[in-house]
Amino acid sequence: MCGVVGYVGKNLSRSYVMQGLARLEYRGYDSAGFACLDEKTEKLGCIRAEGQLVNLVKALEGQPLDGSVGIGHTRWSTHGVVAERNAHPHVDCLKKISVVHNGIIENYQLLKEQLSKENHLFRSETDTEVIAHLIEKAISQQGLLQAMLTIVKQLQGAYAFGCIGEPFKDTVVAVRKGSPLCIGIGDKEMFVASDVLAFAGLTDQVIYLPDETIALVHAGFLELYDFEGKQLFLVPQRVAVSWANDGKNGYEHFMLKEIFEQKTGIQATVSWLRELENGPWEHLGMTETQAQELESLTLVGCGTSWHAARIGQFFFESIAKVRTSVVLASEFRYMPFLPTGHSLYMALSQSGETADTLECLRMVKGHGCPTAVLTNVASSSMVRESDGYLLTKAGQEISVASTKAFSTQLAGLYWLAHELAYQKGLIDRQAVEQAYDQLLVAAEILEDSITRYREIITQRYAPYYAQFDKAIFLGRSISYPFCLEAALKLKEISYIFAQSYPAGELKHGPIALIAPDTPLFLFSTLEPVIYQKILSNAQEIKARHGHLVVFAFEGQDELCQLADLAFTVKPVAPLLAPLAMTGLMQFFVYAIADALGRPIDKPRHLAKSVTVE
Ligand code: G6P
C-alpha cells in the first residue's frame, strides 16, 4: 500500500515526482524512491531511501539524476521489512526497467519461484519485484502492449503500478486492477498518480483509470486498453482539487492544529448539509419515498470511521427509529451477505479510499443494493463508485491520527438521523433546526474544554500518565464506542497499550486487571439511567484501589468525587455527549504522546489511507 507517482513530458520529471510524493506521503512513509531515464546518459537511474521522504530528499541532494520520464513511490510495507532494498522502485535483472506499485500481488511467491528457476536475480523480499522481472521477460519476446497484456494475465491480486524502462523510453506504463490510479493531462505533459492530489494545481483534466486498464502514457497523448487489448477512448473530466496544505500554522503538530480546527469543521459540515439544494436524499442517490420507507441501515468503516459509525448507530436508532448495524469493513466483506429490502448501505471513510471499505461498497453494489458514502474527499474512489454521497467539510486532514474527520462525521450522522426522522414523520422541521443548534453548541464546548484544561494537562497530567505503559478505557452505551476511539488514539500516537471494555463487562473478567500500574479511564454519559450504572462501575473500581480518571459532565459530582482525577465538560444534548468530549480526549492523548516525544503526525508502522486489504 503506497503512493505511486509518474511524469512524462516536456519538462524534467524529478521536481514533479518529488512534489507528488510529498503530497502522497499520507499513504505510507516507511521508505521512498525515485527513478528516471537520465537525460544525459539515457540510462535508467534509481535512488531510494529508508524512512520518511525527507531521507530521499537528502539522498538526492547533489545527485544530478533527472529526466523527462520518471516515477516515484512512498511505501507502506506489506511484503518485506522496512529497508532500502525493499523500497520501490524495483528493477529487473539488468536494471533497465523499474516499477512502483500499490497493492498486493497475491501469487508472487509462485511467480518468483518460476522466475528464479529461469535465473532472474531477485534483490528484495517484496511482491512488487516480480512485476519488473515479468516485464523484462515479456518485453524480450513481444512489443510493449502485448507484453503488458501477457503479464496482467499472470498477476493475481489488486494492484496499481507505474513502470518506465530503457526499451520504451518515452512512456510511463500505468496499470490498474483494484487499486486506484489516475492520469492528469497537461500541455505536452502527463501525470500519473494514486491520487489527484499529487498533481493538483498542475492540471485539472483527469482520467480515472477504469478497473483493469493498461495506459501507455506519452508526453502528448495517451493510449488506453482493457485487459483483453481492446482500445478504450475516454474523455477526461475536470476535477477541481487544490492542495490546501498551509503548513502547521504555528502549531507544533498537524494533529494539534486539526484538533483546534474541529469547531469550524463541524460548522462547515452542518452548513453544507443544511444548504444542499434538493435535500440530502437526492445526494444520497435516493428518493424521499425511499427514505420514508427505509427500514434498515448498515454502516461500514475502518478505524476511527468505524467508531464514528458505532456512535452514529445510537443517533439513527434513537432519533429515526431505524434499525442500524455497524460492521467493520474488513469483516463485512467475508461475512455471509443477506440483503434485505428497504435498506441502505453506507460507508464512512475520511479518505474515501480505504481498500476494505471500498471493496465492501463494490460487493454490496454487486448485489444490486443501494450504496452511499460519507467522506471528507469529494474526488475519492468511494464518491465515484457509490450511488450517492455526503461530504464532511473538515478540510484536509494531514495527521495520520484522525481528529476532525471523526467529529465532522459525528456531526454529519447526527444531522442525517434528524433528516431521516423528519422524512418519516417522527419529528417536525423545527426539531431538525434544533439539531443544527445543538451541534453548534457541542462544537463550542468541544473547543472550550481544551482551552480550559490545556495548560494543566500539558504541565502536570500528561507527563504523569505518560509514565504508564498500559491503560484500560471504559464506557457504557454511547460512551463505549467513544472509549474505543480514545483507546485507539492513545495506541496510535503514544504506543501505550490500551484496552477498552464496556464498563458493565468489567466484572466479568477484566476486573482482575485492576492494579496500581494500570490507570482506568472512564467516560460518562448524559443519560440518567446509564450514569447510575457508570457510578456503580466506578465504585467497583475504587473498591479494588484502581486508579480512576473520569471524563464527566458538570454536575456529575458523585462520579468526580470517586475519581483520582476528573475532567468535566459542560452538558449538551445527551446524544452529543461524545462529540462534546472529543476535543478534551484527543488533546489529553496528544499531550501524553508529546510528553513521550513520539512522532505524532506520522506514527510508526501506520499510514493515513490504507489502500490494501
Ligand atoms: C487508517 C488510519 C486511521 C483511519 C482508518 C480509516 O487505519 O490510520 O486513522 O481511521 O485508516 O480511514 P478512512 O480514510 O477510511 O476513514
* Strand spans (E) along 294-453: 296-301, 323-328, 343-349, 371-375, 388-391
Using an 8 Å Cβ cutoff, are 370 and 285 in contact? Answer: yes
The residue behind cell 510493449 is 144
The residue behind cell 451541534 is 439
Residue 3 pLDDT greater than 70, yes or no = yes
- Rounded to an integer, the average pLDDT of 193-200 is 93
Residue 232 pLDDT greater than 80, yes or no = yes
Ligand 1 within 6 A of CB of 603: no
Give me the residues paired with residue 237 across strands: 206
Residue to substitute in 78, 197, 326, 350 for testing ligand 1 pocket (most ligand atoms within 8 angstroms of CB): 350
Of residues 22, 15, 21, 144, the one with CA closest to residue 67:
15
Looking at domain 3-238, which CATH architecture does it have? 4-Layer Sandwich (3.60)
> What's the pTM value of the predicted model, to 2 decimals?
0.90
CA of 154 to the centre of ligand 1 (A): 31
> In the structure grid, which three cell numbers stand for residue 298, read together?
448498515
- Please state, for a pLDDT cut of 70, what percent of the chain lies above it: 100
What is the C-alpha to C-alpha distance for residues 182 and 198, in angstroms, rounded to an integer?
10
Predicted pLDDT of residue 246:
67
Ligand 1 within 6 A of CB of 381: no
Could you give the strand order of the β-sheet that contains 205-208, starting from the edge strand earlier in sequence?
44-50, 31-37, 69-75, 2-9, 189-193, 182-185, 205-208, 237-238
What is the C-alpha to C-alpha distance for residues 27 and 4, in angstroms, rounded to an integer?
9
Give me the residues paired with residue 213 across strands: 176, 226
Looking from the CA of 174 toward its CB, the CA atoms found within 13 Å total 32
The residue behind cell 506521503 is 25
Whether 470 is a known active-site residue: answer no
Residue 612 pLDDT greater than 80, yes or no = no
Predicted pLDDT of residue 478:
98
Residues 469-484 have pLDDT tens digits of 999 999 999 999 999 9
For the CA of 607, the closest atom of ligand 1 is 8
What is the C-alpha to C-alpha distance for residues 292 and 425, in angstroms, rounded to an integer?
8
| 1 pLDDT tier (thresholds 50, 70, 90) | low
Domain 248-427 and domain 454-601 have a common topology: yes
Residue 244 pLDDT greater than 90, yes or no = no
CB atoms within 10 A of CB 331: 13
Phi, psi of 555 (to 5 degrees): 100, -15
Residues 255-273 have pLDDT tens digits of 999 999 999 999 999 999 9
- Rounded to an integer, the average pLDDT of 428-443 is 97
Predicted pLDDT of residue 417:
98
Where are the chain's structural domains? Answer: 3-238, 248-427, 454-601
Using an 8 Å Cβ cutoff, are 401 and 598 in contact? Answer: no
Predicted pLDDT of residue 611:
75
What is the C-alpha to C-alpha distance for residues 452 and 448, in angstroms, rounded to an integer?
6
For the CA of 405, the closest atom of ligand 1 is 16
Predicted pLDDT of residue 588:
98
The residue behind cell 427514505 is 291
Predicted pLDDT of residue 595:
98
Q: Which CATH class is domain 248-427?
A: alpha beta
Residues 354-399 have pLDDT tens digits of 999 999 999 999 999 999 999 999 989 999 999 999 999 999 999 9
- Rounded to an integer, the average pLDDT of 215-240 is 96
What is the C-alpha to C-alpha distance for residues 250 and 409, in angstroms, rounded to an integer?
26
Residue to substitute in 610, 611, 613 for testing ligand 1 pocket (most ligand atoms within 8 angstroms of CB): 610
| 64 pLDDT tier (thresholds 50, 70, 90) | very high
- Rounded to an integer, the average pLDDT of 606-610 is 83
Using an 8 Å Cβ cutoff, are 496 and 459 in contact? Answer: no
> Using CB atoms within 10 A of its CB, is residue 82 exposed (0-12), middle (13-18) or buried (19+)?
middle
Could you give the strand order of the β-sheet that contains 296-301, starting from the edge strand earlier in sequence?
323-328, 296-301, 343-349, 371-375, 388-391
Residue to substitute in 346, 351, 359, 380 for testing ligand 1 pocket (most ligand atoms within 8 angstroms of CB): 351
The residue behind cell 452511499 is 372
Predicted pLDDT of residue 294:
97
Q: Are strands 520-523 and 470-475 parallel, antiparallel or unpaired?
A: parallel
Using an 8 Å Cβ cutoff, are 476 and 534 in contact? Answer: yes
What is the C-alpha to C-alpha distance for residues 238 and 235, in angstroms, rounded to an integer?
10
CB atoms within 10 A of CB 145: 16
> In the structure grid, which three cell numbers stand for residue 487, read together?
483507546
Ligand 1 within 6 A of CB of 304: yes
Q: How far is CA 612 from the centre of its chain?
A: 11
Ligand 1 within 6 A of CB of 302: yes
What is the C-alpha to C-alpha distance for residues 197 and 202, in angstroms, rounded to an integer?
10
For the CA of 354, the closest atom of ligand 1 is 15
Ligand 1 within 6 A of CB of 355: no
Please count the residues of the chain: 613
Whether 263 is a known active-site residue: answer no
> Using CB atoms within 10 A of its CB, is residue 187 exposed (0-12), middle (13-18) or buried (19+)?
exposed
What is the C-alpha to C-alpha distance for residues 390 and 59, in angstroms, rounded to an integer?
42
What is the C-alpha to C-alpha distance for residues 233 and 215, in angstroms, rounded to an integer?
11
Give the CA angle between residues 302, 308, 311 to the nearest 5°: 130
> In the structure grid, which three cell numbers stand for residue 134, read together?
515479468
Could you give the strand order of the β-sheet that contains 565-569, starting from the edge strand earlier in sequence?
497-502, 470-475, 520-523, 548-553, 565-569
Ligand 1 within 6 A of CB of 9: no
Cβ-based neighbours of 448, under 8 Å, separated by 6 or more = 570
Give CATH for domain 454-601. 3.40.50.10490
Predicted pLDDT of residue 249:
84
Ligand 1 within 6 A of CB of 303: yes
> In the structure grid, which three cell numbers stand for residue 472, read together?
484500560
Gyration radius (Cα) of the chain, Å: 26
The residue behind cell 478505524 is 303
Using an 8 Å Cβ cutoff, are 162 and 174 in contact? Answer: yes
Specify the residue with its C-alpha closest to ligand 1, atom 7. 303
Specify the residue with its C-alpha closest to ligand 1, atom 3. 303
Q: Are strands 2-9 and 31-37 parallel, antiparallel or unpaired?
A: unpaired
Ligand 1 within 6 A of CB of 400: yes
For the four alpha carbons of 445, 451, 457 and 460, in that order, the dihedral sign comes to negative
